[in-house]
Amino acid sequence: MRLNGVLFILSLAGYVARPGGSSGPLSPAVVTGSDRQERVR
């Protein structure tokens, strides 16, 4: 359980550090959503 939580936090940290990178396999929906919003603007 703790390992999963740590991996999730690490993935979020990596996503925040690399918003333009697709290095977030655990949360691809969030990455695509943010990219779409940026493209719309």
Is residue 26 within 8 A of residue 8, CB to CB? The reply is yes
Task: Give the separation between CA 41 and CA 31, rounded to whole angstroms.
Answer: 16
Looking at the 3D structure of the chain, how many domains does it have? Answer: 1
Q: At which residue do the structure tokens 């979020």 appear?
A: 12
- Concatenated DSSP letters for 5-33? HHHHHHHHHHHHH-TTS---TT-HHHHHH
Q: What is the model's pLDDT at position 30?
A: 55
Tokens found for residue 29: 């929906």
Give the tens place of pLDDT for each residue, 1-41. Answer: 678 888 888 777 776 655 555 554 545 555 555 555 555 55
Domain that holds residue 22: 2-40
